[in-house]
Amino acid sequence: MKTICFIISARASYSRVKTILDSLKKEKKIKIDIVVTTSMIINKHGNVIDNIKKDGFKIGYKIHNLVSDENLTYQAKTTGIAIVELSNYFINKKPDMVFVIADRFETISASIASSYMNIPTIHLQGGEITGNIDNKVRNANTCLSDYHFVCTDKSRERLIKMGELKDRIFNLGCPSIDLAKKSLEIKFNKSKFLKYTGVGSKIKYENFIVVLYHPVTNEINETRKNIRTLFEVINDLNMETIWLWPNHDLGTDLVSKEIRSKRENSKSNNNIFYVKHFDSIDFLVLLRKAKIIIGNSSVGIRECSFIGTPAVNIGSRQNNRERGRNVIDCSPNKSEIQKAVKKQLQNGRYKNDYLYGDGESGRKIANQIIKFKGILKP
Ligand code: UDP
């Protein structure tokens, strides 16, 4: 029996490994251990822990490492606490392998702890390029990991250039696309969405758009201005809008404060419904029905390329990430965003794009994991 410890630190991370976990659950020789940390612990983004339990998994350990004081020390301190906690957990539990997901700032705590402790480490989504601190963290996770599940051929090539061994890099697509594929089989049913509470105005879920805009941690001083601009665009557009609360990153409070002040001071737009979080499949079903998504979330680029939802991607957060035909990029400038929105609304839905996988990645990755023998990087 081999124990694989999955470190899940944010809602986005769970949707990235859900189908891998589903497949591994069926394997008798594998024991799944799930450790939740950082923003997974707080309820700001809905209770993802409950969703994990509902899906039939146990939470092995919870790490309360989030330093809530939002200044420049917050991400380093939060990561530091997680290194201490995870190394204690690993020495006691002795997992055979550790699974590290993508590029959020705190994910590096898992790869640091596991590699110092000689525990073979698997990393998902290496080799991609984006803006933000995420890019450095993703590359650091790659260097600290022994096996790599990448999502595109270009990512594989980049890892080879970084010196990773070819036979330890597997391009089996992105498991978040598996959920996108599942969402294609589910008919949009408005009554399912009525359970989601939020603030702002109630909407009819008919002719609507989705907004998801995160702070850009290395452009923190621009945050409030950018949210104001985006709010003006949405206000002028006057369509039903579902505006999601941002991820927990440096600058989240600035985004939230600006949204709140705009919401309270604006009487003109009664069409915006602000929601914390949708369960992963529901979110994708919602995006299939949405006219467009506006913001800077990876979902506009990854899952929306597969489901064909037009995306207006603002600013540098997703710079250089491989994108399909569904994305129009623009700077955080009012007229540029408006131009891109107009074009996407006119265009309508795009054809499905398989850039990030065919929707069967979780099963393929699980099949590969069971073959690993626990080799450490030479
Ligand atoms: N997501 C979700 N529910 C939500 C918002 C996002 O399940 O209410 C998922 C989304 O489908 C995607 C992931 O979270 O797989 C990434 O979204 P996010 O914008 O949170 O993070 P990013 O990757 O841009 O840092």
Does residue 280's CB lie within 6 angstroms of at least one atom of ligand 1? yes
What is the pLDDT confidence band of residue 373, given thresholds at 50, 70 and 90?
confident
Q: Which atom of ligand 1 is nearest to the CA of 102?
A: 23
DSSP 8-state secondary structure symbol assigned to residue 7 = E
Pairing of strands 208-212, 293-295: parallel
Which residue's CA is minimally distant from atom 3 of ligand 1? 278
Cα 219 to Cα 148: distance, rounded to the nearest angstrom: 30
Q: How confident is the model at residue 269 (pLDDT cuts 50, 70, 90)?
A: low
Question: Which DSSP category does 45 fall into?
Answer: G
Q: pLDDT value at position 282?
A: 95
Ligand 1 proximity of 17 Cβ (cutoff 6 Å): no
Q: Is 15 in the pocket of ligand 1 (CB under 6 A)?
A: yes
Please state the atom number of ligand 1 nearest to the C-alpha of residue 45.
8
Q: How far apart are CA 4 and CA 149, in angstroms?
A: 15
pLDDT for the residue 46 = 65
Residue located via tokens 């899940």 = 8
pLDDT computed for residue 267 by the predictor: 59
Cα 278 to ligand 1 centre (Å): 9
Q: How far does residue 268's CA lie from ligand 1's centre (Å)?
A: 29
Q: Is the CB of 303 under 6 A from ligand 1?
A: yes
What is the Å distance from ligand 1's center to 320 Cα?
19
Ligand 1 lined by 299 (C-beta under 6 Å): yes
Q: How far is the CA of 12 from the centre of ligand 1 (A)?
A: 5
Q: pTM here?
A: 0.92
pLDDT of 59 higher than 60: yes
Q: For ligand 1, say whether the CB of 130 is within 6 Å of any of its atoms.
A: no
Tell me the mean pLDDT in the region 160-187.
Answer: 97
Out of 9, 13, 15, mutate this one to test ligand 1's pocket (max ligand atoms within 8 Å of CB): namely 15
**What number does the ligand 1 atom closest to the CA of 10 have?**
20
Is the confidence at residue 128, as pLDDT, over 60? yes
pLDDT digits (tens, 9 = 90+) for 18-37: 999 999 999 999 999 999 99
pLDDT score, position 45: 62
The span from the CA of 256 to the CA of 214, in Å, is 10
Average pLDDT, the chain: 93
Residue 348 pLDDT greater than 60, yes or no: yes
In this predicted structure, the answer to whether residue 90 has a pLDDT above a threshold of 90 is: yes
Region 205-220 average pLDDT? 90
Write out the H or E segment, with its range, that includes residue 300. Answer: none
Whole-angstrom Cα Rg for the chain: 20
pLDDT tops 60 at residue 268: no
Probe ligand 1: pick from 13, 195, 299, max atoms within 8 Å of CB? 299
Question: Which ranges of the chain would DSSP assign to H, the alpha helix?
Answer: 11-25, 48-54, 74-93, 108-116, 134-144, 153-161, 175-184, 190-193, 223-237, 252-265, 280-289, 303-307, 334-347, 361-369
pLDDT for 254 beyond 90: no
- Identify the weakest region by mean pLDDT among 64-78, 279-293, 301-315: 64-78
Give 164: exposed, middle or buried? Use CB within 10 Å, 0-12, 13-18, 19+: buried
Interatomic CA distance for residues 257 and 328, integer angstroms: 28
Burial class (CB in 10 A: 0-12, 13-18, 19+), 182: middle
